[in-house]
Amino acid sequence: MNINTPLDRGLIKRLKAGDLVYLSGAIYTARDKVHKRIVDLIAKNRELPFNLKDSIIYYCGPTPKKRDDIIGSCGPTTSSRMDKYTSLLCKLGLKATIGKGERSEEVVDAIKRYKGVYFTTWGGCGAYLNSFIKSSKIVAFKELGTEAVRRLEIEKFPLVVAVDSYGNKIWDKRSKNEIR
Partner 1 sequence: MNIDFKSIARELYLKASFDLRGDIKRVLVKACNQEREKLAKEALTAILKNSELAKKKRMAICQDTGYPIFFLKVGNVGIKDLSNIKEELAKGIREATIEGSLRKSILLDPLKRDKTSFNTPPIFHIDFNSSKKLEIELLVKGFGSENQTKLLMLNPNTLDSEIVDIVVNHIREVGSKACPPYIIGIGIGGTADKAIVLSKEATLVSLDKKNRDKKLSNLENRIKKELNKLKIGPLGVGGKTTCLGVKILTYPTHIAGLPLGITVSCHATRSAKKVIRFN
State the catalytic residues.
35
By CB under 8 A, residue 116 contacts partner 1: no
Closest by CA to 119, choosing from 36, 50, 60, 33, is: 60
> Cα separation of 157 and 40, whole Å?
31
Residue 20 CB, nearest approach to partner 1 (Å): 6
Residue selected from 16, 22, 42, 101 as contacting partner 1 according to rule CB under 8 A: 101
For residue 45, give every residue at least 6 positions away whose Cβ sits within 8 Å of its Cβ, in sequence order, or none.
none
- Report the DSSP pairing between strands 133-140 and 117-120: unpaired
Q: Which stretch binds partner 1 (CB under 8 A): 43-51, 84-92, 119-127, 133-141?
A: 119-127
Of the candidates 112, 128, 141, 167, which one interacts with partner 1 according to CB under 8 A? 128
- Taking the least distance from each CB to partner 1, the nearer of 74 and 140 is 74
Total site size for partner 1, rule CB under 8 A: 46
Integer Cα distance of 7 and 129 in angstroms: 21
The answer to whether the Cα torsion of 139, 36, 129, 121 is positive or negative is: negative
Phi, psi of 113 (to 5 degrees): -65, -45
- Per CB under 8 A, the list member of 62, 82, 108, 164 interacting with partner 1 is 62
Sites of contact with partner 1 (CB under 8 A) = 18, 20, 33, 60-66, 69, 72-75, 77-80, 100-102, 120, 122-131, 145-146, 158, 160, 162, 170-171, 173-175, 177, 179-180
